[in-house]
Amino acid sequence: MKKHQIVLLPGDGIGPEITAVAKSLLTKVSQKHQFELEFNEQPIGGSAIELTGTPLPESTLSACKKSQAVLLAAIGSPKYDDYPREKRPETGLLALRSGLDLFANVRPIKIWSSLIEASSLRKEVVTGVDLIVVRELTGGIYFGKPKGRIKTEKDERAFNTMSYSAYEIDRIAEVAFDLAKARTGKVCSVDKANVLEVSQLWRERIDILADKNRQLEINHLYVDNAAMQLIKDPRQFDVILTGNLFGDILSDEAAMITGSIGMLPSASIGKKGPGLYEPVHGSAPDIAGLDKANPIAMVLSAAMMLRIGLKEEKAADDLENAVNDVLDAGLRTADLMSSSFTEVGCIEMGNELLKCI
C-alpha cells in the first residue's frame, strides 16, 4: 500500500480543534482509497514557545523537511504581542515558509453556491466568483534587509525594506502563468509601480515574461485600484499575481467576498520538497476551545494537500464533495450562521463531514 508521511502542525488557538477534524477525515479517505497516511505531530507557534522557548524548534523544521507534505492549522495568540520579534509565533511560521523555500502561496477564492447569502456583497456581484491569489511568500518586505529600529535621544525610527530580485519575480510569475494556462488564461499583476522602484522592476519583468506568453491575457493594476476592483467587480479576476505584503492584504479582502474567511484553504509550494497547506484564517483565540470554530478551511487545505502534494485526487474530491454536502444540508458553524440554517459546533461539523465520505 502507498504510504505518505505527513507532518501535522496544530499550532495555537482553534488549531488543535480543526486539526482533529482534518485528521479523522484524512484517515477515513485514506482507508477508502487504499493508501496509508503516517501522521507526525509537531509543535509550532505559541505552543512551541511554551514547550521549547522558540516558535519553530529545529526538530519541527527537520521533521517537515523529511515529510511529503505539511498540514498547518493556525498560529498566534495575543499573549505574545509584547514578546520580541524572534520569540513571536508569526516568526515561526515565516521561518517555516522560508526554511522550506515555499516561495509561492496559492489561495483559491471560490463562491460556494449555498453560501451566496453569507457574503457581505450583493448576490449579483459575487455569483460565479472563482479566482486565485498567487502571492510571493519568501521575499518582499516580509524578509527584506536592512530592517530594524534605531533609537536616538530625540526620536525613534523603525524600518523595513521591500526588495525583489528579477529571479524572485520571474519564478512566482511562472507559477501564476502555469495556473492561468489551465484556467481562463487571464493574469492580473498587482503592484505599486507609480511609487515604488521595487514595483517598477516587478512590472518590467512581468512585461518581459508576458511577451513570451502571448497566449495569456496579462494586465497590471496598482494595488489601491486592485483593492477597489475586488469589491466592485470580483468576477473580472481570474489569477491575481502579487508580492508578499500586497498578497497578504488582498487575499483577506478576497476572502470576505466568499462570506467567511473560515472557508478558505491555501497551498504554499516551492520548486521541490514538501508543500505547506494551511487555512487562510488565523488562530481565532477568542473562540479557542469553545467548539465554535469552522473546520472547513482546514478540511479544504487537507484536500489541496491530497491533490497537489500527494496526487491523491479522488480522496481530495471526496473531501471537497463532503463540504458541499454538509453546506447543502443547511449545516453552518457560527461564522456562517443565519436564520433558517442549523448551527453546529466544530466537532459536530466534523462528524457530519465524516458521514458524507
Task: List contacts with ligand IPM (CB under 6 A).
Answer: 76, 90, 93-94, 248
Inter-axis angle of helices 313-328 and 15-32, nearest 10: 120
CB of 249 to ligand IPM, least distance (A): 9
Of the residues 136, 168, 191, 248, which one makes contact with Mg ion according to CB under 5 A: 248
Neighbours of 265 (CB within 10 A): 24
CB of 249 to Mg ion, least distance (A): 8
Residue carrying C-alpha cell 476572502: 255
Q: Which of 170, 252, 291, 325 is catalytic?
A: 252
What is the distance, to the nearest Å, from the Cα of residue 86 to the centroid of all Cα atoms in its chain? 22
Q: Which of 142, 164, 191, 292 is catalytic?
A: 142
Q: Establish whether 272 is a catalytic residue.
A: no
Q: Establish whether 328 is a catalytic residue.
A: no
Instruction: Give the Cα separation of 52 and 41 in Å (integer).
Output: 15
> By the 8 A CB rule, do 78 and 89 touch?
no
Q: Which of 23, 28, 110, 192 is catalytic?
A: 192
CB of 280 to Mg ion, least distance (A): 7
Closest CA to 296 of 37, 110, 42: 110
| CB closer to ligand IPM out of 93 and 353 | 93
Q: Which of 178, 207, 224, 328 is catalytic?
A: 224
Instruction: Give the Cα separation of 132 and 135 in Å (integer).
Output: 9
Q: Do strands 186-191 and 239-242 pair parallel, antiparallel, or not at all (unpaired)?
A: parallel
CB of 251 to ligand IPM, least distance (A): 6
| CB closer to ligand IPM out of 305 and 326 | 305
| CB closer to ligand IPM out of 231 and 249 | 249
Residue 318 touching Mg ion (CB under 5 A): no
Inter-axis angle of helices 89-99 and 58-66, nearest 10: 40
Q: Establish whether 224 is a catalytic residue.
A: yes
> By the 8 A CB rule, do 51 and 67 touch?
no
Q: Establish whether 82 is a catalytic residue.
A: no
Q: Establish whether 192 is a catalytic residue.
A: yes
- Which residues, in sequence order, are CB contacts of 131 under 8 Å at separation 6+? 108, 109, 110, 234, 237, 238, 239, 240, 254
| CB closer to Mg ion out of 81 and 155 | 81
| Binding partner selected for residue 90 from ligand IPM, Mg ion, none, CB under the kind-specific 5 to 8 Å limit | ligand IPM
CB of 196 to Mg ion, least distance (A): 20
Using CB under 5 A as the criterion, which residues of the chain lie in contact with Mg ion when the complex forms?
A: 248
Please give the positions annotated as active site. Answer: 142, 192, 224, 248, 252
